[in-house]
Each structure stands twice: as C-alpha cells, then as structure tokens.
Amino acid sequence: QSALTQPASVSGSPGQSITISCTGTSTDVGSYNLVSWYQQHPGKAPKLMIYEVTKRPSGVSNRFSGSKSGNTASLTISGLQTEDEADYYCCSYAGSSTFSLFGGGTKLTVL
C-alpha cells in the first residue's frame, strides 16, 4: 500500500488558522476512524497530537483539532504560534495486511 498523501508544506502567520490534509483510500482512511496526527520538531521524537480522527490526548492544546470526510482527514491548527512550526504526519490504520500507513509529512512554517 502507498503512503498517505499530504502537502509538502503549509504556512501561516501567528494567530491565523491552517489546515493540513491527508488523503488515503477506501481501504485505509476511508474505512476506519483510526487516523492520528503527530508533530515532530527537528531532532526530536514525534508527539501524538490527535488520535481516532478527533480526540486530543491529555496536555495537547485545544487549538489542535481533527476531522475526516471520505478518504481525506484533516488537521486544523487555530491561533498559530511560533512553537507550532514543525513537521506534521498523519497516520491511518490500514487493516490486517498493513498495521499503519503514514503520510509523507507536511512542514509547517509560521511566518
């Protein structure tokens, strides 16, 4: 199975909102409400930001939200802050043949 498709980069100004899309297929994103999103700063380990499409782990700001429509999931960050500048990866359960599929990652620049 191929990786999920994300835009290579997005940008926004402090205080603005941005949305990162994650497109899969009917056998992964479209079939399961098991999409998660990870934030990764340079040289650091990934951090879970959203799980099961819309849920936020304890400690994650409510400025981060997730949604899904058909084969495409989305991560929205509102009230952009400079510390949000990082790489973001989506991930979906893909059934018994492939446990997890990641997207290629999106570099968020806060201008």
Partner 1 sequence: EVQLVESGGGLIQPGGSLRLSCAASGFTVSNNHMSWVRQAPGKGLEWVSVIYSGGSTDNADSVKGRFTISRDNSKNTLYLQMNSLRAEDAAVYYCARLEYTSFFNWGQGTLVTVSS
Nearer to partner 1, 21 or 51 (CB): 51
| CA gap 10, 90 in Å, rounded | 14
Strands 106-110 and 9-12: parallel
Q: CB 18 → partner 1: shortest distance, Å?
A: 19
| Angle (CA) 18 109 50, round 5° | 50
Q: Which residue has the tokens 């999409």?
A: 35
What whole-number distance in Å separates Cα of residue 94 and Cα of residue 90? 13
Q: With binding defined as CB under 8 A, does residue 22 bind partner 1?
A: no
| Contact letters for partner 1, residues 50-79 (x by CB under 8 A) | -xx----x----------------------
Q: Which residues bind partner 1 (CB under 8 A)?
A: 3, 32, 34, 36, 38, 40, 45-48, 51-52, 57, 89, 91, 93, 96, 98-105
